Amino acid sequence: MKSALVIGASRGIGRRIALTLSKNNYQVGVAAKTTDHTLELPGTIYSVTNEIETSGRTALALPCNVRDEQQIQNAIQSCLEAFGGLDFVVYNAGAILWKKVLDTPVKRFDLMQEVNVRGAYIMIQKVLPYFLEKKAGKILLVCPPIYSRFFKGKVPYSVGKVGMTVLVHGLATELENTGVSISGLWPATAIESHVTTVKNVPQELMRKSSIFADACLHIAEETNLSLINGKALIDEDFLRAKGVTDFSAYRCDPDKEPPRMMPKAFPSLLVEGDSLTSKL
């Protein structure tokens, strides 16, 4: 049986990723900071683990504050010991504040960088030696393609999220021909979550988190690493490439297809003479 670690899995998209992987025969490490249920933050690593175990599958609850390097190391090591290995790691932890530079205090800026790009970097550093030794393993970061419109009105947040995408594009060159891959994934539309519930986002504007989780599963199962290594993927577009044509089941409002918030095409970051194997 394969195994996966999902960091940021106590609610929303992360919870759904963990449940979807479990239903498809993955042992799952459910990692997040939230260990106590509150009205402000419903769902914990224990509630998600219980959902998985109730269905007769294997899961491991892992307290993990991603600002603490040792806790990330502990989560990975716990999975290796409990599952006898790891095949797939997902970094879904995130700190969000969509405000302009002058409206974002330095303390909040630091928090976003620590949770988003720094936490992802630590996870990669801790799991990569194991993946490289066994010459197999997939890393997935929840981060966007790089394009100018993404930055507008939320530069402080974008710094960390795009930094994660740089990790995806850059590390891919180091992983070529190793059997290990790194990918980014981002939603094409708004996705239901605790945040959208709190903000009362209309149902017709969103898709269910299952679309993102299904795209994660396809990445986890992909055998042609050239299709995913170093790629900043969009959930809908990747699923279409895998043969999915009907997305109506993902609608939050069954009668309305939500508007796409991502561009249909993204600019190439390659320059003349560039390639995956370029060293400079």
- pLDDT, one tens digit per residue, over 156-186 is 999 999 999 999 999 999 999 999 999 999 9
pTM over 0.85? The answer is: yes
The pLDDT, as a whole number, for residue 237 is: 98
- In angstroms, the CA 179 to CA 85 distance is 16
pLDDT tens digit string along 235-262? 999 999 999 999 999 999 999 999 999 9
Q: What tokens were used for 271?
A: 């320059």
Average pLDDT, the chain: 95
Query: Which numeric CATH code is attached to 2-250?
Result: 3.40.50.720
Burial level of 14, CB count in 10 A (0-12/13-18/19+)? buried
Q: How far is CA 25 from CA 3, 21, 172, 245, in A?
A: 8, 7, 27, 25
Q: Tokens standing for 227?
A: 């299709």
41-91 pLDDT tens trace: 789 999 999 999 999 999 999 999 999 999 999 999 999 999 999 999 999
User: Which of the following is catalytic: 26, 91, 121, 157?
Assistant: 157
Which residues are CB-neighbours of 141 under 8 A, at least 6 positions away? Answer: 90, 91, 120, 164, 165, 167, 168, 182, 183, 184, 185
Q: Residue 274 has what pLDDT? A: 67
Cα–Cα nearest to 164, from 187, 151, 146: 146
Quote the pLDDT of residue 280: 47
Quickly state the pLDDT bin for 37 (edges 50, 70, 90): confident
Structure tokens at 239: 């699923």
Residue spans of beta strands (DSSP E) within 129-214: 137-142, 180-186, 190-191, 206-207
- Say whether pLDDT at 214 is over 80: yes
Active site residue 46: no
